[in-house]
Amino acid sequence: MEQIMRNFFLFLSNNKTLTKAAKKYGFRFGASRFVAGVNINETAKKIKALNHQGFVVTVDHLGEFIDSETEAKQSAQECIKAIKVIAEEQLQSELSLKLTSLGLDISDELVMENMRDILQAGKAHDVTVTIDMEDYARLDKTLHIFKTLKQEYDNIGTVLQAYLYRVEEDVSALNDYNPYLRLVKGAYKESATVAFPDKADVDQNYKKIIKQNLLYGNYTAIATHDDEIIAYTKELEQAHDIPREQFEFQMLYGIRLELQERLLNEGYKVRIYLPYGEDWFGYNMRRLAERPANVAFVLKGILKK
């Protein structure tokens, strides 16, 4: 049943007709629980409130199905606007983005131009920009772009997904770049030829790459709500004398608030992934589809305080 639910939500997340309808009719399906608002000014108020509680933030302007140069440039300008608001309001926030929203599927020249404009704004205002990882088909191109831009800008990070067989090799290959990596389990539906189908294998691989990147000495964001993974990270911290300045926990806005607060009270850095924008539908559906074992958990998260 969980696999059926996962496939169903992923099907919905990729439906262009429903995405466009969602823009028209506003927040539904519990979206306000996971999405901060429609625009950056509205979202800034929630960032400020989270900062006041002690959390740091990464803000993401949601974008789905960008297929024109005009839309890609508009998305880039929205990212730059968010950076300026972060600076003007003195918010403790980074920026996350997806390359497909900036023209990855349109042309290499377009996506690189947009990324350089965004990173330049981030550099001017001391805001870090993280490239979110998307599906496997876009992995190599995303990593190539990250490596290229990392040689030009220090204020850039990216994401690696533990459910991929190749991820240990990717962590190793990126080590020379002294990367800021967000490590996640992975939320896209992938073939068993490239990704572990079983949760137990994903969890084991996740632990491997967390340890790998921490022992390399690279800054590591562990993006999870999984108690076992969090406990494992704490064990690594103690066993290898890893300073807390070298890692942080990242969690989604609106999920497991009590866990977020507990980690914060224990002295850990906790960053909240805070999305906003009209293109909320695909993001919301993926939150309901993140691996079969998590479907029931995420649904329960809607109801939990």
Render 265-287 in DSSP notation, one character per residue.
HTT--EEEEEEESS-HHHHHHHH
- Active-site residue, 67 included: no
Three-state secondary structure string covering 199-260: HHHHHHHHHHHHHHHHHHCCCEEEECCCHHHHHHHHHHHHHCCCCHHHEEEEEECCCCHHHH
Query: Which one of the listed residues 60, 132, 170, 203 is annotated catalytic?
Result: 132
**CA 24 centroid distance within chain:** 25
Q: Please tell me whether residue 55 adopts helix, strand or coil conformation.
A: coil
Active-site choice (6, 60, 170, 182): 182
Q: Other C-beta atoms within 10 Å of 202: how many?
A: 20
Active site (annotated) includes residue 279: no
Active site residues: 132, 182
